[in-house]
Amino acid sequence: MKVLFIGDIYGRPGLDILTEKMPELKELYKPNLIIANAENAHNGRGINLKIYKELMSLGVHMITMGNWVWGQRELFEFIDDANIVRPFNFREAPGRGYITMNYNGQKVLVINALGRTFMNPQIGCPFVGIDEILAKNNADYTIVDIHAEATSEKVALGHYLDGRVSAVLGTHTHIPTADERMLPGGTLYITDVGMTGPKEGVIGVSKEIVLNRFLNGFSTPNEVANGPKQLSAVIMDLKLKTIQRIHMESETV
């Protein structure tokens, strides 16, 4: 079972490079399933129906989200019927926090969790919550997208779930980490897959805006950066227990 996981898609640049590189990704890696984190797909905040349909038409099978899941109110109108997994620890929110896909008679459970450290301490505990999901759902393979700020929280969750899920993949910080590996119990792990979007911004945002914010304390609304684009992803073989980072670039603006 080969799964391609696309790191946080940021704005139009992220969508454009994914469109450009998807045929090459499919040809090179021949994934059985494609999952993408798209919580920043609409100008850095959330997703709308147009972008959802665009991703589905590219061959994405499942979309995970994160802290900006509710950035576009339009999502409320279609999330219940979409292949979108929002963070499960928003307990009373619309949509689903986990979805089971069937592929050639095998069940693949996809769970989206939101971290609490430096993010949202009011949401449910991702550790205990995933325990509850696993207790109620049997699957051949289980993939967890942990959308969290603190690397320690991601690493801790990886070890907590080691041997009980197929993969724990970190998202949110937009900087790919070099710690992809199989944990001692057999779970595939990476602290952050990275971002698919502008290469020369500050985690997707125009660098001028962010520099001004750091230097002067003056904040203006974020704008998606222009310029060269990058794609960050991992390809996993869940049966053979391998994980490999993918990095692609495009010079087109």
- CATH classification at residue 86: 3.60.21.10
The Cα–Cα gap between 5 and 37 comes to: 8
Q: What is the pLDDT along the chain (253 residues), one digit of tens a residue?
A: 999 999 999 999 999 999 999 999 999 999 999 999 999 999 999 999 999 999 999 999 999 999 999 999 999 999 999 999 999 999 889 999 999 999 999 999 999 999 999 998 889 999 999 999 999 999 999 999 999 999 999 999 999 999 999 999 999 999 999 999 999 999 999 999 999 999 999 999 999 999 999 999 887 899 999 999 999 999 999 999 999 999 999 966 6
The Cα–Cα gap between 115 and 157 comes to: 10
Give the helix ranges, DSSP H, for 173-220. Answer: 207-216
Which amino acid, 67? N
Structural tokens at position 116: 């609490």
The Cα–Cα gap between 207 and 226 comes to: 10
Count of domains for the chain: 1
The Cα–Cα gap between 219 and 198 comes to: 20
Cα atoms in the 13 Å half-sphere on the side-chain side of 27: 5
CA distances from 148 to 1, 42, 96, 166, 242 (A): 26, 20, 19, 19, 23
Contact 134, 143 (CB under 8 A): no
pTM of the model: 0.96
Q: What domain range is 67 assigned to?
A: 2-250
